[in-house]
Structures are given as C-alpha cells and as structure tokens.
C-alpha cells in the first residue's frame, strides 16, 4: 500500500458531488476564518474555578493555556479547555483556571500577545475536553472564481443533506507529519497524534468507499445509526418509514469505524465492506491492534446547521456561516462546495 493512497485519503478523499462550484483562497487574513465555541451550559456562578471566554488571533490553544497558567500561578495542566482551535484564525473559546489566586473580576480584559479574556465567571469544576455542543463558523472566501448560481444551489443542497464527515487535513499533521512517521515505521508508533491519525485514515477510507457506492447518507440493515448531536447510537433492525423520515431530517446518520479493540457493532453487508476496506491497511491495523483504544463509531455524515451564504465586495466575495458538531471540520464542508487553496495553513482542529 503506497503512501500516495494515504495522502489522497487525508487531503483529497472523493466528494459526494462533483464538480465543485468554483475555486477560492482561504485564510488570506485571520479574520477570514472565525470560530466560536458553544458550550451548551452556563457558568455555575460559584465554585473553585473561573470560566474564561478568550478571544485569540494568530495564536494556538496550547500557547494560551501556558499563558493562562502563568497568569493564574498554576501548572499548565490545571487549566481546562474544551477543544483545540486554529492558530491562523480569530477564535473565541472557553478555558477554566483555579480560582485560588485570582477572582473572576480580575480576569476581565487580561491577556497578552494574540489573546484577551472577554468574559470571566465563577464555576464549579475544571472544563473537560469535548465539553462543547458545537462550533460556529464564519468563513470568507477570497478571489472566488466560479458559478455563483451553482454555488448557491450547492449551499442549499448541503443545508438539506449534510456532507461526508471526513477527518480534515489538520488531523494528519503539518505536511502529513503524523502519517509519515506511522507509514515509515508503524510497528513503533507511540505518539498519540500518530495513533489518532491512523484511526482517522481508516475511517476516511471506509467513508470514501461509501461515497463511491453513493450510500454514505443511507442506512443499511445491521449497521449502527448515530443520533445527531450525541455519541449515542443504535443498531438498525428494520428499514421502515420512521428510519427513512429521521434520516431525511438529519436526526440520525450512518456511522463508520474508529478502529480499535472489540467488536465493530455492525453486521451484514456493512460489516463485510468495512472489513474489506480496513484489510487494505495492514500496517495501520497491526499497530492499532496493540493499542488499548476501544473500537467506537463516528457519524459518516455531518449536518451543517444554520448554513447561510452572503456576498461581500459588491457580490464578488462569498462568505459562509454555519454550525458543526464538535470534532467535525469546516474544511470538509468547504471542499464539498468549492476547491479551496489555503493562503495560510492550519495546525489545529475544531474539537
């Protein structure tokens, strides 16, 4: 199995609809890519932590964590955060710090190069990873060349049907660094990022096969369906009208494997397809089978909520706003609409 196949599944897996509606440049300036985390809960108003809302620009999450730890006089792992966010962007995200040395009021307006605290409230506990209901995006696409009517049609179609939930290039590291190390010596992969990249690659491979079969957004008997916006799933025992209605309404989605120990949870034709696809990656399988990660499932489709297209610069520059569930990638949505060239790269994910 060549590294070129690994590369194509990471950077250019098959689209659900071809051709794209045009081409444009992404991240010409940080303000072209805005991300806002949505927690889904309010601060408790009391407790031993401070919940901070931070706006950052041209700064990665790990650096902000270290800066907040220094300002709070604590260790960096005492700082909680819900997810990683892009450096080359303007992002608004949430953190917690222990309250023992500074009260909430003292944090308002605090900051440093590239970040500022814009809200601070007392809270009961450290913010855990993944404690989000979603991420809200606003993305400006510069130097657009294409069919404006076709773009509008594709936006409407995506709003109705969702997009394939591929892992984006960010998951595989700068210049595919997380995959290169794994491909070169999968027997000795140790880094968590590389293990995650291997699982993501296998998922993308299965999803690509479902896209090729044109059933990536359909449910089959014996597979597991995901409940939208949650990690819950159930086995499809009958393909009845209720299933069809919920599928069309984006209330449930087909799922694909996050490879690991244990049963896949699917049977029949889908189980056979997944086994066939995953069997093409013996290096990745050999390493993952020695790891302690448990097998799980990820939705093959992601709903693109509140999707809106607007035009700037007298109708020459498209701007898109939308919401995604945690763990899904805005770049995956973009490539279903247009060919995108990144003026500046991305180094984080939208957890």
Which domain CATH number covers 113?
Answer: 3.30.2350.20
Q: Which CATH number belongs to the domain containing residue 259 in this structure?
A: 3.30.2340.10
Whether residue 162 has pLDDT greater than 80: yes
Residues 276 and 166 placed together within one structural domain of the fold: yes
Among the three residues 123, 149, 184, which one is the final residue of a domain in this structure?
Answer: 123
**Taking residues 83-92, what's their average pLDDT?**
93
In a domain, 316, yes or no: no
Round to whole Å and give the CA distance between 106 and 99.
11
DSSP state of 167: P
DSSP state of 31: G
Residues 199 and 102 placed together within one structural domain of the fold: no
Residues 12 and 48 placed together within one structural domain of the fold: no
Residues 67 and 199 placed together within one structural domain of the fold: no
In a domain, 192, yes or no: yes
Residues 163 and 252 placed together within one structural domain of the fold: yes
Let me know: does 222 contact 274? Beta carbons within 8 Å.
no
In a domain, 231, yes or no: yes
Backbone angles phi, psi at 167, to 5 degrees: -70, 135
Round to whole Å and give the CA distance between 307 and 137.
10
Number of neighbouring beta carbons within 10 Å of residue 314: 6
Q: Quick check: bond before 65 cis, omega within 30?
A: no
- Predicted structure pTM score: 0.92
Tokens at residue 109, please? 């307006």
Residues 183 and 284 placed together within one structural domain of the fold: yes
Residues 182 and 85 placed together within one structural domain of the fold: no
Greater model confidence, 35 or 194: 35
In a domain, 346, yes or no: no
Please identify which of the residues 86, 228, 348, 351 carries the catalytic annotation: 86
Specify whether 86 is catalytic: yes
- How confident is the model over 298-319, as pLDDT tens digits? 999 999 999 999 999 888 999 9
- How confident is the model over 198-232, as pLDDT tens digits? 999 999 999 999 999 999 999 999 999 999 999 89
Residue whose structure tokens are 């590239």: 114
- Split into its structural domains, the chain has a count of 2
Q: Where in the sequence is the domain holding 278, given as residue range(s)?
A: 3-16+158-302
The pLDDT assigned to 341 comes to 87
**Taking residues 251-278, what's their average pLDDT?**
94
Residues 193 and 68 placed together within one structural domain of the fold: no
In a domain, 330, yes or no: no
How confident is the prediction for the chain on average, in pLDDT? 92
Among the three residues 96, 123, 150, which one is the final residue of a domain in this structure?
Answer: 123
Residues 74 and 180 placed together within one structural domain of the fold: no
Whether residue 190 has pLDDT greater than 60: no
In a domain, 103, yes or no: yes
Give 265-323 as a DSSP string.
Answer: S--HHHHHHHHHHHTT-HHHHHHHHTS-PBPEEEESEE--EEEEEEEETTTTEEEEEEE
Among the three residues 123, 149, 179, which one is the final residue of a domain in this structure?
Answer: 123
Tokens at residue 307, please? 């999707």
**Strand stretches in 147-286, DSSP E:** 163-164, 224-227, 233-235, 252-258
In a domain, 320, yes or no: no
């Amino acid at each position: 199995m060549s590294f070129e196949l690994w590369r194509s599944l990471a950077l250019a897996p098959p689209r659900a609809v071809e051709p794209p509606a045009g081409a444009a440049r992404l991240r010409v300036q940080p303000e072209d890519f805005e991300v806002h985390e949505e927690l889904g809960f309010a601060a408790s108003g009391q407790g031993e932590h401070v919940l901070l809302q931070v706006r950052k620009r041209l700064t990665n999450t790990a650096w902000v964590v270290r800066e907040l730890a220094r300002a709070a006089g604590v260790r960096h792992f005492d700082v909680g955060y819900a997810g990683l966010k892009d450096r080359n962007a303007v992002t608004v995200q949430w953190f917690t710090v222990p309250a023992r040395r500074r009260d909430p009021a003292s944090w308002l307006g605090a900051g440093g190069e590239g970040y500022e605290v814009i809200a601070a409230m007392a809270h009961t506990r450290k913010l855990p990873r993944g404690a989000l209901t979603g991420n809200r995006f606003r993305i400006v696409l510069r130097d657009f060349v294409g069919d404006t009517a076709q773009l509008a049609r594709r936006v409407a179609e995506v709003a109705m049907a969702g997009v394939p939930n591929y892992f984006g290039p960010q998951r595989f590291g700068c210049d595919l660094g997380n995959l290169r190390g794994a491909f070169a010596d999968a027997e000795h992969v140790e880094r968590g990022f590389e293990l995650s990249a291997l699982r993501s690659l296998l998922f993308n491979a299965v999803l690509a096969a479902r896209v090729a079969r044109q059933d990536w957004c359909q449910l089959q008997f014996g597979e597991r369906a995901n409940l939208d916006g949650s990690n819950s799933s159930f086995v499809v025992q009958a393909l009845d009208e209720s299933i069809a209605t919920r599928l069309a309404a984006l209330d449930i989605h087909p799922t694909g494997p996050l490879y690991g120990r244990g049963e896949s949870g699917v049977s029949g034709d889908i189980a056979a397809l997944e086994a066939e696809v995953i069997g093409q990656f013996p290096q990745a399988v050999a390493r993952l089978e020695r790891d302690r990660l448990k097998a799980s499932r990820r939705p093959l489709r992601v709903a693109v909520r509140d999707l809106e297209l607007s035009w700037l610069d007298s109708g020459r520059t498209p701007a898109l706003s939308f919401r995604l569930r945690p763990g899904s990638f805005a770049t995956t949505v973009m490539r279903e609409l247009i060919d995108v060239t990144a003026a500046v790269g991305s180094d984080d994910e939208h957890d």
